[in-house]
Amino acid sequence: MSHSTVTGPPPVRPTRTPRTPYLLVGPALVLVAVFLVYPVGNVIYSAFQQQNVLTPWDDGFVGLANFRQILDDPVFWKSLAFTGKWVVTEVSLQLVFGVALALIVNEQFRGRGLARAMVFAPWAVAGILTTTIWMLIFNPTTGITRYLADMGVVDYGTSLLSSSTGAFWAAVIAEMWKGIPFFAIMILADLQSVPGELYEAAHVDGAGRARRFWSITLPHIKNGLVVATLLRAIWEFNNVDLLLTLTGGGPAGSTTTLPLYVAQTALKTKEFGYGSALTVVAFAILTVACVVYMKLTKMGEDQS
Amino acid sequence: MSAITAPAPAPAVAPADPQRPRARRRRVVWRIHGPLSLYMLFTLLPFYWMVMFAFRERGSSSLLPKPFTTENLKYVWVNGNFSQFFLNSMIVAVLAVVVSTIIAVMCGYALSRYSFRGKNAFQLLMLSTQFIPGAMMLIPLFKIFQGMGLMNSLWALVIADTVFHLPLSMLLMAGFIKNIPISLEEAAWVDGCSRFAGFRRVIFPLLVPGMVAVGAYAFIGAWNNFLFAVMFINEQSKFTVPVGLSYMLGEFGVDYGSLAAGGLIAVLPVILLFAYVQKYLVTGLSAGAVKG
Amino acid sequence: MQFVSQKRRRSIAVGAALALTLGLGACASADEEAGADGGPVTLTLWDTDARTARTERLNKLIEMFEAEHPDIRIEYVGLPTDSYMEKIETAIATGTTPDLLTPKASDLSALVAQKALAPLDDRMAADGFDESMSASMIQSAKSAAADGVLYLTPSSALTDVIWYRPDLADAAGLGAPKTWDDFYEAAEKLTQKDTGQFGYTIRGGTGYWSQFAGMVLPQAGVGAYFNEDGTSVFRNPEVVAAAKDYAGLYKTTTAQSDLTADFKVMVAQFAAGSTAMLSHSIGSYPDHVAALGEDKVASVVAFPADNGVRVQSSLVLGFAMFEKSQHPEESWEFLKFMMEEEGNSYWARESGYIPGNNAVATEAWVADSQPIAVSQQAMAESATVPLEHPYYLPEFTAITTTDSLPKWQMALQGDLSVEEFCAELAEAFEASREAFEARTTN
């Protein structure tokens, strides 16, 4: 207990046994190397090939042709732009509501345990089930609009999913349902570790609720926010399941993200080579974005 | 959000304040119960929709599960083979929990207690595992599992799920360990403990909530995975619940009742687990533990 | 703290041990398949549609088959309808295909291009199935493959029909629609937007093609995708006109939400009584009956066009065996069983399919089933021609799904004219056919 503060990140003990950290991360590294490096290499290899099981006679090395095709592909640019819109909307909404939710359920009130269990529950629901349930809700005959129409609020035979704007928000809502709990849980874990005496001290100093949030809570959960935001952004970028099953990228292609375009290209139209090239491009974009993000937020560096 | 009621003096962990109870209650409603109820409505509506379909007779359009029936549930559990799928999902999820928690603790400890060369590269590498859509890796992953003789084995699912969820588990765990003051460990070293013994006696007990959280994350990920389960398993008797769910959808018929009943079966264990686990998140790494 | 930690540690250790035993126990059966010699041969069947009722039917058939062939065991593996092709393709790429499959004619292109399936022509001829099975179904199955070879048993077929509500039609003073004009009139008259009833449900979303092609081409009286000179029929004025009529149904006699309606949405609308007519295959009959009752649903086939031709769209569903199967003879035994009277009758009757076996087709239940009866009647007419979908074109799936679906939705919304939509379809099909011809003539 002698030379360490209570709250700050612990000082790193330098080079006691330099091998230890490598031994500790070893198994993870081996797993990733075996189950990831080879598959990724495979995708990169395919990106330079024409590969389509429907036309095997045309398969072969094509050099950069796939990448040149990407530059001229209007769907690529359109889906890339939509991906940006999707990720930014989704992550910022989840961030705001997630932090708010975490703050609320961090308060003390009766039935808090039950309330937490309920509001966090969607996080645990399988992706395939999430979309199924929301499809039932957005369905014009089994869903909410039908009951609203019975009450005369909307016309019969309408659905959020059948207009571009509507489909976008329908997907955003369904994804938020699952994503907000994720954020809230991560933030709540951080909130728990804010030492109570800091609040007590601030309270004695006469700091208001807002002041306390900005000067105590926020700095304390900042690291957690940075990590959670990054993970969520990556996840939303790559998340194909929801859009694929809920909107199918439509109507008229208006909700197609880049990874969804990849899935459609590789799985449905069987253009595996082109799909791989799109994956490589998506991978590069994501990597650059992450490195920039990590630099900007100084994530992964030991700061005190 | 909190700013609205700025003068309210009760901080999260402070003792009850002596203000007049009615005014205080009104403020609590404003600050907590109001927004929480709204959010709860949003959260629970989809669950309600599922329950309604699961227990409602086919053809009914009532907003209540009327006429009430448990036929859907029975049909799915018995005829739909969900009892078997359920067991398989449980096996995969439990194994994934064990494997990922162990690896996550190891990595988390290394990342939070050591600085070593390649640490950032390692973190980026782990993060980049999330960059590639699972669907693009199916064929190569398939070949690997085939080469290892793990095809059609539930272990393939355990490994694939662990690999894909490791980065987050690892980062979560590193965060948990980081929040445990190193002074506690140092005290143990002073007492003559080895690094491992110090970890076992000091960190481990404090880390249980963290491990429960990471374990729950692994459980949920493995329980819910669909893509790997449908690709790597070639035997009906080894399929998992999400695969069973996908059976309910088809071009020549949709049975919403069975679908919802299957959904209920898929969701119950994770919800119950969650209701239990969130207690650990509550005790979590709260002030008491940090104060040592 | 010490006490707590020990207690928790113990429970975690117990959990881990439990997990290992469970896991090993469950995974041990992985090597079961080993002992192939001596004992019965085990065949693996991958089913492309694993809905519970169908799984039960197939398992019953497997039982019947195994009772007759004690030396053959069949292991059923159900695949989800949405992702079975990915699973099969991965298996082909890695050489891990099973023995048997239940494909549709529309699935064949990819499988044949990869030479994954075993040809059946010689076996069919040798065992006399050329005579005992429906000639038109054999023809249809053959033409779905680029090389004109039979890879799929003509065990059963589904025809496209128009489902309608006789009770609603009666109430509106309309009989069963008999002409295309009747159909459009009924769609209009049965639409009462204020009570939430629509005359028709148009498929604007995923899978739109089967409804689009199955309505537009018959209305134009065209039974193929290409004219004799090799141009696409989507350039023909009568086809474009029919496409305009059909797309014109959207929002005037259909729900606005139909823009993204897939099968699930359409069938739910019909079941809830909020739509009076629906185009789909006879395969959805059990669903309609379960939702509405037998007296509130009936079907009519596509009506004769102005040129007097009745075009009927249908899809052959059967069984196939993989080229790499270690047990081709045993696999063929099962395929035979599904074509012979006992198996074929049970399969078709229980599933509501049109049987491929000629003798089964004369059984009483066939005439008793309203949708099957009207389909068969129409097929027997001399003026009826089958709609030949060029499933053999490698680009068929791409053109009719991901490429044209967004355009179709634009056309429905009025952002793209139906003429342009048809012109784009024509170009895509012509390019695909040209490439195909160039390959096959060289």
The answer to whether the beta carbons of residues C70 and C38 sit under 8 Å apart is no
* Rounded-to-integer distance, Cα B65 and Cα C33, Å: 46
**Mean residue pLDDT across chain B:** 81
Q: How far is A6 from chain C (nearest CA, A)?
A: 19
For residue range C356-385, what is the model confidence (pLDDT) as tens digits? 999 999 999 999 999 999 998 998 899 999
Q: Looking at chain C, which subunits does it touch, using at least 3 CB pairs closer than 8 Å as the criterion?
A: A, B
Q: What is the mean pLDDT of residues A113-133?
A: 86
Higher pLDDT, C28 or C159: C159
Q: What is the mean pLDDT of residues C213-231?
A: 96
Q: Looking at chain B, which subunits does it touch, using at least 3 CB pairs closer than 8 Å as the criterion?
A: A, C
Select the residue from C11, C14, C52 to test the B interface by mutation, using most B Cβ atoms within 10 A: C52
Confidence bin at A304 (pLDDT 50/70/90): very low
Q: How far is A251 from chain B (nearest CA, A)?
A: 20
Q: How far is A167 from chain B (nearest CA, A)?
A: 17
Q: How far is C399 from chain A (nearest CA, A)?
A: 9
C-alpha distances out from residue C79 to B263, C109, C337, Å: 18, 19, 22
Using an 8 Å CB-CB cutoff, list chain B residues near A10: 112-113, 178, 180-183
CA nearest to A139 within chain C: C265
Look-up: residue for tokens 């449905």? A268
Q: How far is A157 from chain B (nearest CA, A)?
A: 15
* Rounded-to-integer distance, Cα A231 and Cα A185, Å: 13
pLDDT of residue A117: 84
Residue ranges of domains in chain C:
36-155+318-339, 159-314+389-441
C-beta atoms of B290 and A195 within 8 A: yes
Which of B3-12, B274-283, C120-129 reaches the highest mean pLDDT?
C120-129
C10 touches chain B (CB under 8 A): no
Using an 8 Å CB-CB cutoff, list chain B residues near A24: 106-107, 109-110, 114
With 50 as the cut, is the pLDDT of residue B76 above it? yes
C-beta atoms of B247 and C78 within 8 A: yes
C-beta atoms of A252 and C406 within 8 A: yes
With 90 as the cut, is the pLDDT of residue B278 above it? no
C-beta atoms of A251 and C204 within 8 A: yes
Higher pLDDT, C11 or C40: C40
Higher pLDDT, B166 or B285: B166
Token code pair at residue A188: 């709540």
With 80 as the cut, is the pLDDT of residue B138 above it? no
The answer to whether the beta carbons of residues C133 and C339 sit under 8 Å apart is yes
Q: How far is C382 from chain B (nearest CA, A)?
A: 30
pLDDT of residue C102: 97
C-beta atoms of C403 and A269 within 8 A: yes
Residue B284, SS3 per DSSP: coil
Report the alpha-carbon angle B64-B68-B71, nearest 5: 130
pLDDT of residue C27: 33
pLDDT of residue C243: 97
- Minimum mean pLDDT range among A143-157, A180-194, B33-47: A180-194
C-beta atoms of A252 and C413 within 8 A: yes
Whether domain B82-291 has CATH 3.40.950.10: no
Higher pLDDT, B5 or C111: C111
C-beta atoms of C81 and B250 within 8 A: yes
- The two counts, helices (H) then strands (E), for chain A are 14, 2
With 50 as the cut, is the pLDDT of residue A214 above it? yes
C-beta atoms of C274 and A162 within 8 A: no
Q: Which distant-in-sequence residues (6+ apart) come within 8 Å of C24 by Cβ?
A: none
* Rounded-to-integer distance, Cα C168 and Cα C199, Å: 10
C-beta atoms of A55 and C86 within 8 A: no
C-beta atoms of A149 and C269 within 8 A: no
CA nearest to B219 within chain A: A124
C-beta atoms of B230 and C87 within 8 A: yes
CA nearest to A11 within chain B: B182
Which of A34-48, B185-199, C259-273, C298-312 reaches the highest mean pLDDT?
C298-312
pLDDT of residue C57: 93
Using an 8 Å CB-CB cutoff, list chain C residues near B135: 86
Top-level CATH class of C36-155+318-339?
alpha beta
pLDDT of residue C10: 45
C-beta atoms of A157 and C439 within 8 A: no
Q: What is the mean pLDDT of residues A144-148?
A: 87
Using an 8 Å CB-CB cutoff, list chain B residues near A295: none
pLDDT of residue C35: 42
B193 touches chain A (CB under 8 A): no
- Write the residue in C114, C205, C268 that is nearest to A141 by C-beta: C268
The amino acid at A194:
V
Q: What is the mean pLDDT of residues B91-97?
A: 94
Residues 10-49 in B contacting A (C-alpha not used; CB under 8 Å): 11-14, 28, 31-33, 35-36, 39-40, 42-47, 49
* Rounded-to-integer distance, Cα C121 and Cα C149, Å: 7
Using an 8 Å CB-CB cutoff, list chain C residues near B235: 29, 75, 77
Q: How far is B4 from chain C (nearest CA, A)?
A: 41
pLDDT of residue A301: 57
- Write the residue in C110, C193, C413 that is nearest to A53 by C-beta: C110
C-beta atoms of A156 and C415 within 8 A: no
Using an 8 Å CB-CB cutoff, list chain B residues near A287: 128, 131
Do C36-155+318-339 and C159-314+389-441 have matching folds? Answer: yes
**Mean residue pLDDT across chain C:** 89
Confidence bin at C178 (pLDDT 50/70/90): very high
Fill in the DSSP letter of residue C196: T
Token code pair at residue C422: 């048809």
* Rounded-to-integer distance, Cα A202 and Cα C144, Å: 77
Q: Looking at chain A, which subunits does it touch, using at least 3 CB pairs closer than 8 Å as the criterion?
A: B, C
User: Closest Cα to residue A125, out of A74, A180, A52, A61?
Assistant: A180
C-beta atoms of C82 and B61 within 8 A: no
pLDDT of residue A7: 42
Q: Which long-range contacts (CB under 8 A, 24 or more apart) does C404-408 make?
A: C404/C209, C404/C428, C405/A248, C405/A250, C405/C205, C405/C206, C405/C208, C406/A249, C406/A250, C406/A251, C406/A252, C406/A253, C407/A252, C408/C204, C408/C208, C408/C212
Residues 202-221 in C contacting B (C-alpha not used; CB under 8 Å): 207
C-beta atoms of C23 and B247 within 8 A: no
Higher pLDDT, C183 or A269: C183
* Rounded-to-integer distance, Cα A254 and Cα B139, Å: 29
- Superfamily per CATH, domain A48-297: MetI-like (1.10.3720.10)
* Rounded-to-integer distance, Cα A98 and Cα A231, Å: 14
Q: How far is C234 from chain A (nearest CA, A)?
A: 21
User: Closest Cα to residue B250, out of C84, C144, A136?
Assistant: C84
Using an 8 Å CB-CB cutoff, list chain B residues near A34: 144
For residue range B185-234, what is the model confidence (pLDDT) as tens digits? 888 888 888 888 888 888 888 888 788 878 888 888 899 888 889 888 98
Confidence bin at C24 (pLDDT 50/70/90): very low
pLDDT of residue B89: 94
Q: What is the mean pLDDT of residues C53-78?
A: 94
Q: How many CB atoms lie within 10 A of CB B63?
A: 12
CA nearest to B288 within chain C: C1
Which of A4-13, A107-116, B119-128, B147-156 reaches the highest mean pLDDT?
B147-156
A35 touches chain C (CB under 8 A): no
Q: How far is B151 from chain C (nearest CA, A)?
A: 8
C-beta atoms of A146 and C272 within 8 A: yes
CA nearest to A192 within chain B: B286
CATH number assigned to the domain with residue range C159-314+389-441, chosen from the 4 options 3.50.50.60, 3.40.50.300, 1.10.287.130, 3.40.190.10: 3.40.190.10
C-alpha distances out from residue B214 to B165, B217, B281, C303, Å: 10, 5, 11, 62
The answer to whether the beta carbons of residues C58 and C47 sit under 8 Å apart is yes
pLDDT of residue C19: 39
Q: How far is A248 from chain C (nearest CA, A)?
A: 7
C-beta atoms of B53 and A300 within 8 A: no
Q: How far is B75 from chain A (nearest CA, A)?
A: 18
Higher pLDDT, C351 or C8: C351
Classify burial at B232, counting beta carbons within 10 Å of its beta carbon; exposed 0-12, middle 13-18, buried 19 or more: buried
ipTM for the assembly: 0.84
